[in-house]
Amino acid sequence: MGDASTTVATEHAVELRHVYKRYTTRKARRGAPRVVDALHDVSLSVAQGEFVSIVGPSGCGKSTLLKVLLGLTRRTAGEVAFSGTGDHQHRLGMVFQQPLLLPWRTVTRNLLVSQDINHRLPPAEANERAAGMLKMLGLEEFADRYPAELSGGMQQRVGIGRALMHDPQILLMDEPFGALDAMTRDQMGMDLLRIWERDRKTVLFVTHSIPESVLLSDRVVVMTPRPGRIADVIDVDLPRPRGLENINTPEFGEIVRRIRTLLNSENSAH
């Protein structure tokens, strides 16, 4: 299978068409090549403004899927389509598992990293946007602080803000709350929903937490153990806006049960 070129003809925000990803490695210096199939025939369409979570066991290709979309890794076969024409890279924002902030830069200067590299905006407009981002994130009073002076949740807020600074159409999030304690994680989830409800970015959100995926999402993509395939896509038919109180409703519990049952079934099959 050879790498297929990215296409742009789709009415969706992003669409994957029969995407495969195969890694070839060596066990040791003289070992035979080892083939690992990370993604197997993955097809998925995500609508404009939709919030989609991706869940599955460790090693099933969730993060690989985001890397394929971002262009950090080449798919082995298949197509990735984005709406519109032209370079799609500037339309993507990425939030990683760790904030990856530059320790020698203040919070404001961390928000402006991309601007300092690409100079997409006039300096005054970029500074105004950074100030607005700090206000939205609730971090105005920390503008001149350094990452070491922030809590883990604050650092991740800055990471989200940095990804949003260039106003991407699609936000990719790779377990952004995985390193946070439970209470901070809950609050970050609510903060993310508030930001999403304001701007309605298209979001693909990787998580290991089934309740988190249900609380945040319009749909939940359930992946199988490696090689990663899509076992099913579950609609989350819960009214918005949502809050933590939704977790205690029977409707919420039923969707969580369906996803958990599906994951357990796929794990048993492997």
Assess if residue 260 is contained within a domain: no
Assess if residue 159 is contained within a domain: yes
The number of domains in the chain is 1
Confidence of residue 91 (pLDDT cuts 50, 70, 90): confident
How far, in Å, CA of 163 to CA of 81, rounded? 21
Quote the domain boundaries for residue 128: 103-168
The per-residue pLDDT for 35 is 84
In b/e form, how buried is each residue of 114-152, taking b as 16+ CB within 10 angstroms?
A: bbeeeeebeeeebeebbeebbebbebeebeeebbeebeb
Assess if residue 3 is contained within a domain: no
Q: At what angle do helices 152-164 and 182-199 cross, to 10 degrees?
A: 20
Mean pLDDT of 124-151: 93
Assess if residue 70 is contained within a domain: no
* Pick from 270, 233, 196: nearest CA to 16: 233
Max Cα distance, the chain (Å): 57
Radius of gyration of the chain (CA): 19
Tens of pLDDT, residues 217-229: 999 999 999 989 9
pTM above 0.95, yes or no: no
Amino acid at 110: N
How far, in Å, CA of 152 to CA of 106, rounded? 15
Structure tokens given for 82: 């984005």
Assess if residue 155 is contained within a domain: yes
The per-residue pLDDT for 103 is 95
The per-residue pLDDT for 2 is 44
Assess if residue 236 is contained within a domain: no
* Phi, psi for residue 107 in degrees, rounded to 5: -55, -45
Cβ–Cβ < 8 Å for 233, 43 = no
Say whether pLDDT at 128 is over 70. yes
Say if residue 103 is preceded by a cis peptide, omega within 30 of 0: no
Tens of pLDDT, residues 11-55: 899 999 999 999 887 665 666 677 889 999 999 999 999 999 999
